[in-house]
Structure 1
Amino acid sequence: MKKIFIIIMATTLLALPSCKKYLDVEPVDLVSDGETIFDKTSAETALRGAYRGLASLNYSGGFQNTILQSGADVVSVNTSLTDLSVTNYNLRSDIPFLQTYWNNNYNTINRTNHIIEKVPAVTDLKLADGIRNQVIGEAYFIRALSYFDLARLYGNVQIFLTPTKVVADKLGVKKSTKEQVLAQVLDDLNKAEPLLSTTVIRNRANKFTLYALRARLYLYQQKYEEAEKEADKVLANSNFKLIKPFNLAAGTTESIFELTYSINDQNPGFTLWRGNRQLSPSTTLHNLLNDPAVGGGRKLLSVVNTSNQYIGGIFPVNTSPNYVLRTAEVYLIRAEARAKKTTPDLEGATADLNEVRLRSDIAKTTATTKEQIILAIENERRVELALEPHRWFDLVRTGRAPAVLGLSNANKYIFPIPAAEILANPALVQNPDY
């Protein structure tokens, strides 16, 4: 069994894409410590490699495709057997994209583990303490985001906090519970906080990026008072404002954390919506976005082409950014937290909800009771974040998947552990019902 594991891992490592612009921080059985991180330049290059892991791997077009289809508001243009397995919530553990998502997140985590372990020991005088701290803090943030997504995708997963130096490092490591993984996410964010700058650079982590992710984490953990406080920290800063009329563009106050691309490193999600596109907004979603009383200015997210087809407008060009955290989401996080906390603040929740609605030229909500307001917030998230991978996760975390999707088997709310991982590591146990 150990031989099988080594063969599979070696094959995976050799198949990783390379990029001459970035230093791939790989296990030291392939790249020596001296060649990875040894001075200021290599430390910063390794950090760029970790960000590139997020942009090109973790938030790939395939990830978006799967999560958007799972939420049922986006449909496949050319339905394949794989698409049907997603939309029927009948995934097989040997479907290749499950292995891809698993590998992508753990490869990015391994890059951050190298940074976290090695950068503190770098003696280069050019690596001043402020720069050193920022690099380490950003690595903690990236690792936190990767583990957060692994927990959302697979539930119980393995936790690795040191670099994979030999293939056998992963052998025998059992899964941690989802709660333990989310606790690790929080620990990473807490460690990153004193290291990060308050300077806002929208494609790099800073304190406000951290606050936004921590607010989202607390919402998932149903820690509503804490989620509200984290959202307060973001929305009190004038760098984060809603833009009227509705517009998604790189580097604006609508963006808290975005992944950037170039003509030589294009957004992998672009081809989902343009050219030989793979996805289309559903008829229901298109009608919602184009209803003046619901979508308002957000109608640009779903337009009709000359062939009378629905075209998603999230990425107008192939260098459009990928939005991971947005100001509107934080308003809606705070709205939901205020409505659901132990002593609800329905007036505050309604005010936040209306900020998002009025920005999109929609009338204030008519919801008045707690239940009505919570449902109104859910519906606003559906429209505001329509072509971003949130709807599926929202319906799962709120327990609304049975009512909305007709999916009552909670075991299907997470994906199966890839079959190759189960075969390679006897310590891994498959998720129930897979």
Structure 2
Amino acid sequence: MNTKNKTLLFLLLISSSLFSCKKYLEVSPYDTIPDETTIYDRSSAEAAVRGAYRGLASLNYGSGFQNTILQSGGDIKSLNNAQTDLNVINYDLRSDIAFLSTYWGNFYNTINRANHIIEKVPLVTDNKLSNDLKNQLLGEAYTIRALSYFDLARVFGNVQIFLKPTTIVADKLGVKQSTQAEVFNQVLDDLNKAETLLPSTIVRNRATKFTAIALRARLYLYQKKYAEAEGDINTVLANPGYKLIKPFNLAAGTSESVLELSYSVNDVNAAYSQWNTSNRALEPKAVIHNLLNDPAVGGDRKILSVKNAAGQFIGGIYPTNTSAGYIIRTAELFLNRAEARVLKTVPDLSGAIADINAVRVRSSVPEISTSLNKDEVLLAIENERRVEFSLEPFRWFDLVRTGRAPAVLNLNDPNKYIFPIPAGEIIADPSLVQNPGYGRN
């Protein structure tokens, strides 16, 4: 073979290799969101919904997001000592920190998956896709979109609302940001639609009518609609499928789980490695470890923080890398209702105390006094939430929502209660306005 032919053969082999590599890298996972041309029958519609749930499990509630929110709450520390961790715990975030772009993109990725389902599933004419199943899939998509926008607005404040699928970058440019209150109203609208579409069944790892109602009750606390929150929680807890179980244990697959995220050996719970491996990133601080291990405070919840042979505190929320992640637990419903009962127009302190004590009794903790006044009951709720959700991303949002961040976290600048819009997003779309206190970008 002459030199010219050898060169030609070499170039052909390289070209073929690059093409094969490109095709290999472009293979999409089974549960990724199908585009508008691939949601065409029952199977593809169901795959799209699975992809949206995977977005919640692996993107929205990935280990990085939980890490940031947990550290912001003050009871969990990072073992990495990275500069970005210092930015988080010092409430000194910058808009150019990479993980902010990741969270922003992840939320919108999941929202876009839901938008594809909401737009395309009604057009499917497959006889195997019954109207009931079609409604269920749509209701699940509305719930997933609602939860994603709810968290997006809690983190970033004023954000853009997209209710149609975006397929190219230009689809997202120039869309005016909505206020946090407007985003919450959109969340409410989605949950109202979901309630009418979803079945009244009990499934722990998929949205049902009760899931939408429970999420709406959580939203109502942010909107200060306390009577409505209490009413929704009454509806859910009237179902015997949602109750507290004694003794306290992890809620996965039990009546203490309203909505959980599923993982498998193929799609592992990345948060497991944050708590359990030799390279773990997070550790309960001594203060929360001591509260959990105090018989009068944590009771049976001491399993959430244990001390190993080396004297280190190990978080016990994810025993394996396939352990479920929690979105809503029955205990939250009791504590949400307690808050709503205290703050509604005509307070029901005895009812609120009963709700707090229900959670405490199930945890083998002494009941609080029935003679507490309004402020004391609110503090009791705050303290109970701190322990009950100690390893879940609640405390930061709770302290911001209730106005307690200055007293508890010594954080007096309200501009810090939401994160900066990622600088890269503002560079890509100059119509975006940065949140106050973070400069132009």
TM-score, normalization by structure 1: 0.93
User: Moved runs in structure 1, 4+ residues, more than 2 A?
Assistant: 16-21, 23-26
Q: 1:18 to 1:389 in 2, by over 3 A?
A: farther
Q: CA deviation at 1:167?
A: 2.0
Match of 1:379 in 2: 383
1:403 aligns with 2:407: yes
Q: 1:43 to 1:379 in 2, by over 3 A?
A: same
Aligned pairs for 1:313-324 within 5 A: 313-324=316-327
User: Aligned partner of 2:226: which letter?
Assistant: Y
Check the 8 A contact 1:116/1:140 in 2, yes or no. Answer: yes
Aligned pairs for 1:411-422 within 5 A: 411-422=415-426
Distance in structure 1 (CA, Å) of the matches to 2:81 and 2:258 = 34
User: Aligned partner of 1:121: which letter?
Assistant: L
Match of 1:241 in 2: 243
Residues 194-250 of structure 1, C-alpha deviation per residue, up to 9 Å, x if partnerless?
100011111000011111100100011111101100110111110011111100142
- Residue 258 of structure 1: SS of its match in structure 2? strand
The structure 2 residue matched to 1:325, chosen from 324, 328, 332, is: 328
Q: 1:373 to 1:254 in 2, by over 3 A?
A: same
Check the 8 A contact 1:335/1:348 in 2, yes or no. Answer: yes
Distance in structure 2 (CA, Å) of the matches to 1:384 and 1:162 = 38
- Higher RCO by CA contacts (8 Å cutoff, separation 6 or greater): 1
Match of 1:260 in 2: 262
Match of 1:157 in 2: 159
Match of 2:34 in 1: 25
Task: Quote the RMSD (CA, aligned, Å).
Answer: 1.2
Match of 2:124 in 1: 122
Distance in structure 2 (CA, Å) of the matches to 1:125 and 1:167 = 35
Distance in structure 2 (CA, Å) of the matches to 1:408 and 1:94 = 23
Check the 8 A contact 2:335/2:356 in 1, yes or no. Answer: yes
Check the 8 A contact 2:251/2:329 in 1, yes or no. Answer: no
Distance in structure 2 (CA, Å) of the matches to 1:19 and 1:378 = 44
Identity of aligned residues (%): 66
- Aligned residue pairs total 412
Query: More displaced, 261-270 or 178-187?
Result: 261-270
Q: CA deviation at 1:17?
A: 9.8
Distance in structure 2 (CA, Å) of the matches to 1:252 and 1:107 = 30
- Residue 152 of structure 2: SS of its match in structure 1? helix
- Residue 227 of structure 1: SS of its match in structure 2? helix
Query: More displaced, 364-373 or 411-420?
Result: 364-373
Match of 2:393 in 1: 389
Aligned pairs for 1:205-220 within 5 A: 205-220=207-222
Check the 8 A contact 1:141/1:210 in 2, yes or no. Answer: yes
Q: CA deviation at 1:165?
A: 2.8
User: Aligned partner of 1:25: which letter?
Assistant: P
1:111 aligns with 2:126: no
Residues 342-363 of structure 1, C-alpha deviation per residue, up to 9 Å, x if partnerless?
1000010000000000000111
The structure 1 residue matched to 2:339, chosen from 336, 340, 351, is: 336
Distance in structure 2 (CA, Å) of the matches to 1:18 and 1:407 = 47
1:363 aligns with 2:366: yes
Q: CA deviation at 1:19?
A: 4.9
User: Aligned partner of 1:283: which letter?
Assistant: A
Distance in structure 1 (CA, Å) of the matches to 2:223 and 2:250 = 29
Aligned pairs for 1:138-287 within 5 A: 138-275=140-277, 276-287=279-290
Check the 8 A contact 1:154/1:415 in 2, yes or no. Answer: yes
Match of 1:90 in 2: 92
Q: CA deviation at 1:80?
A: 0.9
Match of 2:301 in 1: 298
Q: CA deviation at 1:76?
A: 0.7
TM-score, normalization by structure 2: 0.92
Q: CA deviation at 1:22?
A: 1.2
Structure 2 unaligned residues grouped into runs of 5+: 1-24
Check the 8 A contact 1:25/1:110 in 2, yes or no. Answer: no
User: Aligned partner of 2:233: which letter?
Assistant: A
